[in-house]
Amino acid sequence: MDSGRSALSPRARALRTVAFLAVATFSLTGCGGATFGGQKADTASVQLLNIEGVDSGGVYAGIVWAGLTRKDQSSVSVTLDPGVEPTPEFFDYLVELAWSVNDNKPNEPVSVHIRSDPQLNVRELAEEAGWTSLHELAFDEIGGPIFLDDVEERFGPWPGEPPEVPTDALILPDAGEQ
């Protein structure tokens, strides 16, 4: 009558089923659960680099340890082609692009830096875009941090949806001037 298989009690079968479901759930969602919305930093960087007038740059999400304190950061840095002028809409786009990165939820201000030739004052550009609570010492002529509460107030909860590239966000030099 023994067919080589041991019969499991109903309790053992139930425990085995619960264990299987737990393992399946963790393997599908990861230990921390799934993050919905947004995009990876690599995808956001490709979007940024495909904009006419952008020479180089990227969108970055990273973890920095300061002693025992974990700092999750999101930032964007861009260098424009010579003679290209960014508009306030371009500055907004950069903040929204950094906010859409879902690699890890930032607990530090979102940083935006723009380099141009000639160098424009990015602080003035940010203020023209309506960012008025900029840190006086940390935000300078090439950029700096924007407080998370301000970003969330403007673009909603993290991670934001990947933004569309605004049209005419960069003023390109006339072809005859080059």
Inside any domain, residue 134: yes
Using DSSP's 3-state secondary structure scheme, residue 76 falls into strand
Beta-ladder partners of 146: 110
Inside any domain, residue 137: yes
What is the domain count for the chain?
Answer: 1
Mean pLDDT in residue range 146-165: 96
CATH number for the domain that contains residue 85: 3.30.300.30
Model-level pTM greater than 0.75?
yes
Mean pLDDT in residue range 5-19: 61
State residue 74 phi and psi, 5-degree precision: -135, 130
Asked which of 40-49, 50-59, 161-170 is least confident by mean pLDDT, the reply is 161-170
Kindly report the CA angle at 166 between 103 and 41, in degrees rounded to 5?
15
The pLDDT of residue 82 is: 97
Inside any domain, residue 166: yes
State residue 13 phi and psi, 5-degree precision: -65, -40
Full domain range(s) for residue 137:
41-172
Asked which of 39-43, 76-80, 162-166 is least confident by mean pLDDT, the reply is 162-166
Inside any domain, residue 149: yes
Rounded percentage of the chain residues whose pLDDT exceeds 90: 69
The pLDDT of residue 72 is: 97
The pLDDT of residue 79 is: 98
For 147, which DSSP code? -
Inside any domain, residue 28: no
Q: Is the pLDDT of residue 128 over 60?
A: yes
Query: pLDDT tens digit string along 47-58?
Result: 999 999 999 999
